[in-house]
Amino acid sequence: MKNLKKFITTGALLGLSLGASGCLDWWPEFGIPAGKQPWGELNPLQEMHTSPAIKDQGPEGMRYLPPGTVPVGFRPNPIPADQAANSAVLKNPVPINDQSMRYGKLMYETTCIVCHGDDGRGMGYIVPKYPQPPDLTSARARDWTDGQIYHVISHGQGTMGSYKSQLKPEERWAVVNYVRALQRAQYPEPTDLENLTE
């Protein structure tokens, strides 16, 4: 019985408040004139009905980093894009070992294989839909220094774009190591052949 009385009382109060709201001029400063609607508009949160919609991925909704912000552990490429000739002096800081080769292979298969193919000869999945990319095992590519290969991965060349946003510097160097392994697999050096015969 108590619950029924509480329900009736709450309903009556709600009905009275809604009925009274039709006679009152609720917040005319927010553009809600009295008498234009069958009942007054309740706006418990001021200006919520007139606020602009903000898309979370739109320019007005994105949070921009302060100027000069760099990621933790960021190391800039010391050779600018327009100085490819100077990249020959770059030394590969990633050692050639089982771990870096496996990681380089993973990064190569994630980002490079689609164009350059699984053996590096430029017959990736996109060929012949798109023009064939350069052969990474060619004499020209084999004559490049590690720094020059790293520079092409970082800044792109010809129709190839930059991959510095997809691969961190250490990952690019690991890919360089793996490209060297692909080259040696196609064109072994005399010491490689000696090791096979032993």
How much is the CA Rg of the chain, to the nearest whole Å?
33
* Statement: residue 133 has pLDDT above 80: yes
Weakest-pLDDT range from 18-32, 99-113, 139-153: 18-32
* Statement: residue 112 has pLDDT above 90: yes
Coil, strand, or helix at residue 160?
strand
Q: Are 162 and 155 in contact (CB under 8 A)?
A: yes
Sequence-ordered alpha helix ranges (H) in the chain:
2-21, 98-111, 113-116, 139-143, 146-155, 169-186, 190-197
The pTM for the full model equals 0.59
162, burial (CB in 10 Å: exposed 0-12, middle 13-18, buried 19+): middle
Averaged pLDDT for residues 42-69? 62
Averaged pLDDT for residues 72-91? 72
**Location of structure tokens 């052949």:** 193
* Statement: residue 23 has pLDDT above 80: no
Residues 6+ apart with CB under 8 A from 180: 96, 146
* Statement: residue 128 has pLDDT above 50: yes
Better-scored residue on pLDDT, 60 or 194: 194
